[in-house]
Structure 1
Amino acid sequence: MSDKPPRHDADPEQTTEDEKADSEQKPSPLKNPKVRWTLIILGVVVLIGLLAWLVYHLLVGRYLQDTNNAYLQADAVAVAPRINGYVTEVLVQDNQWVKAGEPLLRIDPRTYRATLDQAEAVIAVREADIAAAQANVQGQGASLQQARTQNTAAAASLAFAKAEVARFAPLAASGADTHEHIESLRHDLQRAQAQFDAAQAQISGAQSQIEASTAQLEQAQAGLKQAQADADQARVAFEDTELTARIDGRIGNKTVQVGQFVSAGTRTMTVVPVASLYLSANFKETQVGLMRPGQPAEIKVDALPGTTLHGTVESISPGTGAQFALLPPQNATGNFTKVVQRVPVRIRVDAGEEARKVLVPGMSVEVTVDTRNARDARERTEQEAEERAAK
């Protein structure tokens, strides 16, 4: 057995040259046909994939506009009384389904019932006043008819008295008749004239009474209309003691309790029409150029992973969200930095019964709108721009 120690003083340059010689002796992997064909096939597959993606993008992809800035919404109805009073009954619970017309709560009706009874009593009084005024008008009509009859008789007596005086006056002047007789005839003439004047005055008085009675009748009729209006208002107030649902939906944000005093306009609860949900998607202004009502949309709700719902574009907002903000930005002040604006788009959601049990307003969704049916609009827009430029 040799006790000769190993050599550690080998030349590094000699070692490097040996490694290079070994590497030169190893064949290149590219010379292997399997490796070469594998790389060729892989390159062809990648090229085909890129071409397929390019074709898809040109024909379909660039017309699909998507955003995750979208939320489910519903036109909820706030339930608020129009009268003041204490709540005596609350007939619904939180999250309960209700139908239109179903009672929700009741307010103490005693004061409003008394007001309604009082208004109905006033109507009865006004109806009695009308009946009395009508009877008075009829009585005055009879008095007028009597005065006219008396006037006819007085006119006949006056005409007879005038004829008698005209006939006997020449006889009295010639002495063929006595002066006492002619004086008596003249006295009868004066009395007939007075009776005729009295009959005329009675006719005028009867006509004035009829006008006064008619005015009283009209006043009573106007009072009846006012009493009926007061009764209708009191009836509405009495009916408002029971608040009913105006639409179908679910109860939310219920804050009212039995015994609570509520004022007119106080929000007590909200009815959410879950069956009438719609989607409000805030697309960038660069995405809505080809967006039109009626275009189809695909909807993915975070609460329903793996499920794709469908919808239809209903309308596009007439302004960006910034224009309807409480404090709209004033870009004419200070330094300006361009910010892409968002345009709200309303989309109708087509969902089944099971899906609607889960969907509620405020949920986040992702929506994709297919704008391919409006791709010709861009060409028409460019053509119109060129025509205007040519002019």
Structure 2
Amino acid sequence: MDSTSLDRRAFDDVRSSQDPEAAGAVMTETTARRLSPEPVSAPLPATPNDTTSPQLAAAPAIVRAAEPAPPKRRRKGKLILAALLLAGLGGGGHYGWHWWSIGRFEETTDNAYLQADKVTVAPKVAGFVANVFVADNQPVRTGDVLAAIDDRDYRIAIAEAQADLEKANAQLDGYRAAVVQQQAQVESAKADVTNAEAGLTFADQEAKRYGDLLASGAGTSQRAQQTQSDLLQRTATLAKNRAALDAAQKQVTTYGALAKSALAAIAGAQAKLDEANLNLSYTTIRAPIDGVVGDRSLRVGQLVQAGTGLLTVVPTGRDIYLLANFKETQIGDMAQGQPVAFTVDAFGSHVFHGRVESFSPGTGAQFALLPPENATGNFTKVVQRVPVKISVADDPLLARLRPGLSVEATVETRSDAPRSEGSTRIGMAEPSGQATPR
């Protein structure tokens, strides 16, 4: 039942009681209440000891309920409403100014993660692990010894290679001595040839002389025959000495070739010795970079094979970088060298800084194991993402950053933002005008 019905009922009750003054009071207060904007409270119930009639008791209750609220409460509500409106206008103005001056030039993504060029350490030789010198999550520096493989087999290989090298050196010395000896024989053979040539010349002259004497009758046939026989012997001796000289010279060539072969054998033996020494050095596994040991499966007594991953060295500090996957609609105004601010989920609201270093030559889908084939079947356009590499500036928390942490990165793409000299925007030459806001 509404207030109008209550007023009409109260008025009828008072009028029926034949009390004009009460009826006038009820009519006056009812009219005032209808004109008042304030809500009307319910009438107070009558007490059991009250001897006044219900009609007369209702009139004072209605009068009390129709009293307006105090002016102070109404003024306080208006002040609160005005304050809220002013606060809303101020916040909206601040947001609008921030968007106009800064926000429209910023590109943000939470599809970003810290990365590092970690290195998987694997042995170059096979063998049983003799010692392990590092533990899980231990910091190491370049060249630190991580583990050692049993090197006895490799030391034996070094001894064998050393013996082969010494044998080759001995053969070379023997061939060189043979060359020297044969060269002496060549000289001796040359002397024999010279002597034989001189004897042949003399025998030829003797044979001619005694032949002339025999023809003139002054000489004997016996003497002429002797000189002729001596000439033939001298000729045969010269031929023999020349053959010996030729053989001696060929021997020199042969021993020279054998000496060259010995040199090649020495080189091969030296190479095997060097390889054996290298293999021995490979039994000591060292850290390739500065970083922290992770993913360690290396244990003492383990049989490892060449190329099998034993642990991973993860770089930290300045070697950490950020890989942010921006949408293709966000990279139009990005350029190398632009400043970047980012937060890491692990460190709350702490802001790190960096710069855009490079852009991937293709979207992430191009380097996926199974690239999408859009030339067949139904086509659904999907916004592609381009990996952007961002370098990280010095920061007090830089040493605590770890690859894989989630990041929210914001790139400032204004054309007057500091960046590397000569940088270009992705996919086009650097324009001279202002960046296009979005």
TM-score (ref. length: structure 2): 0.77
Deviation at 1:45, TM superposition (A): 7.4
Map 1:18-167 → 2, pairs under 5 A: 20-23=34-37, 50=92, 53-167=95-209
336 and 233 in structure 1: CA distance in 2 versus 1, 3 angstrom threshold: same
Which of the residues 232, 241, 258 maps onto 1:190? 232
- 1:255 is the counterpart of 2:255: no
Per the alignment, in what secondary structure is the counterpart of residue 9 of structure 2?
coil
Q: 1:105 Cα shift?
A: 0.4
Assess if the C-alpha contact under 8 Å between 2:335 and 2:425 holds in 1. no
Which gives a bigger RCO, structure 1 or 2 (Cα 8 Å, sep 6+)? 1
Secondary structure at 1:373's aligned position in 2? coil
Which 5+ residue runs of structure 1 have no aligned equivalent? 1-5, 385-391
Question: Does 2:12 align with 1:9?
Answer: no
* Structure 1 residue 304 corresponds to structure 2 residue 318: no
Seq. identity, %: 42
How far did residue 79 of structure 1 move?
1.0
Query: For the structure 1 residues 305 and 45, does the alpha-carbon distance in structure 2 shift closer, same or farther, using more than 3 Å as the test?
Result: closer
Task: Check conservation: 1:292, 1:374, Cα contact below 8 A.
Answer: no
Shift of residue 280, structure 1, vs aligned partner: 0.7
- Residue 19 of structure 1 deviates from its aligned partner by 5.2
Kindly indicate whether the alpha-carbon contact (under 8 Å) linking 1:98 and 1:245 is maintained by their aligned counterparts in 2.
yes
> 1:331 is paired with a residue of what secondary structure?
coil
Partners in 1 of 2:294 and 2:188 — Cα distance?
Answer: 76
Q: Deviations over 1:146-189 (max 9, x none)?
A: 11111111111111211222223222111111111111111111
What is the deviation of 1:208?
1.2
Q: 1:383 and 1:362 mapped to 2: Cα distance?
A: 35
Q: Considering only CA atoms, is the larger Rg found in Structure 1 or Structure 2?
A: 2
| Matches of 1:16 and 1:127, distance apart in 2 | 133
In structure 2, how many angstroms separate the alpha carbons of the residues matched to 1:21 and 1:199? Answer: 157
The number of equivalent residue pairs is 373
Q: CA RMSD in A?
A: 3.3
**Is structure 2 residue 343 aligned with structure 1 residue 319?**
no
Query: Runs (4+) of structure 1 moved beyond 3 Å?
Result: 14-20, 32-56, 374-378, 380-384
Give secondary structure in 1 for the equivalent of 2:415.
helix
Of 42-51 and 82-91, more deviation after overlay is shown by: 42-51
Aligned twin of 1:286: 329
Match of 1:371 among 406, 413, 434: 413
Q: 1:7 to 1:67 in 2, by over 3 A?
A: closer
CA distance in 1, matches of 2:30, 2:117: 81
- Residue aligned with 2:260, SS: helix
Gaps of 5+ in 2: 1-5, 13-26, 39-67, 418-423, 433-438
Which residue does the alignment assign to 2:60? Answer: none
Q: Please point out which of 372, 377, 383 is paired with 1:340.
A: 383
Contact 2:161 2:272 in 1 (8 A): yes
Following the alignment from structure 1 to structure 2, what is the Cα–Cα distance between the partners of residues 335 and 103? 57
Deviations 1:199-240, CA, capped at 9 Å, x for gaps: 110111011111111111111111111111111111111111
Task: Determine the C-alpha separation between the residues in 1 that align with 2:228 and 2:30.
Answer: 175
Question: What secondary structure, in the 3-state scheme, does the structure 1 residue paired with 2:202 have?
Answer: helix
